[in-house]
């Protein structure tokens, strides 16, 4: 029995009309009213949108294999154990990390490390709770394939973290 690999549309760069893309992009960037005094993120978004518009015209779409784990890892993680509480702890940890990087003060670094520990422990507890719920709700007689798929998914996510 063979399994089908899911496909998705992606850019086919080998068949792209690169001279046309370059000409269109050069003309647009020269004639477009880009404001270099605006915020860099806004300017980057404007240039990116221009590039994508001309890429859609000159680079054909083809089918390719879906890289399942890179595309769906975040979705799977959230579905299995991630919560708003963990997201908030992560945001707090990241903010403290930025502060520690900017100031370089020992107190800030210690606070960041403490928050990292709190986040790690909360993630571990959430994983344990999710796994306990999974085990308590499973029917091994009728859900054998589903069980195998879920355990495989949990292994992949555990290795990715």
pLDDT digits (tens, 9 = 90+) for 19-56: 898 888 888 888 887 777 888 788 888 888 888 888 88
What is the Cα Rg of the chain in Å? 23
Please report the pLDDT score of residue 109 as a whole number.
Answer: 94
* Every domain of the chain and the residues it spans: 7-65, 69-160
Q: What is the pTM of this model?
A: 0.46
In whole angstroms, what is the distance from residue 84 CA to residue 94 CA? 15
CB neighbour list of residue 83: distance below 8 Å, 6 or more residues apart = 126
pLDDT digits (tens, 9 = 90+) for 95-149: 999 999 999 899 999 999 999 999 999 988 988 887 777 667 766 566 666 666 6
In whole angstroms, what is the distance from residue 5 CA to residue 57 CA? 28
């Amino acid at each position: 029995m063979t399994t089908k690999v899911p496909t998705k549309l992606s850019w086919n760069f080998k068949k792209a009309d690169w001279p046309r893309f370059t000409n269109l992009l050069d003309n647009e960037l020269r004639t477009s009213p880009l404001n270099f005094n605006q915020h860099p993120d806004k300017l980057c978004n404007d240039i990116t949108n221009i590039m994508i518009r001309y890429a859609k015209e000159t680079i054909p779409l083809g089918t390719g294999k879906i890289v399942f784990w890179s595309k769906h890892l975040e979705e799977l993680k959230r579905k299995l154990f991630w919560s708003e509480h963990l997201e908030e702890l992560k945001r707090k940890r990241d903010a403290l990390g930025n502060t520690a990087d900017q100031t370089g003060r020992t107190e800030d670094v210690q606070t960041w490390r403490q928050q990292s520990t709190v986040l790690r422990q909360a993630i571990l507890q959430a994983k344990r709770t999710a796994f306990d719920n999974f085990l308590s709700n499973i029917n091994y007689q009728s859900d054998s394939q589903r069980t195998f798929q879920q355990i495989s998914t949990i292994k992949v996510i555990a290795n990715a973290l």
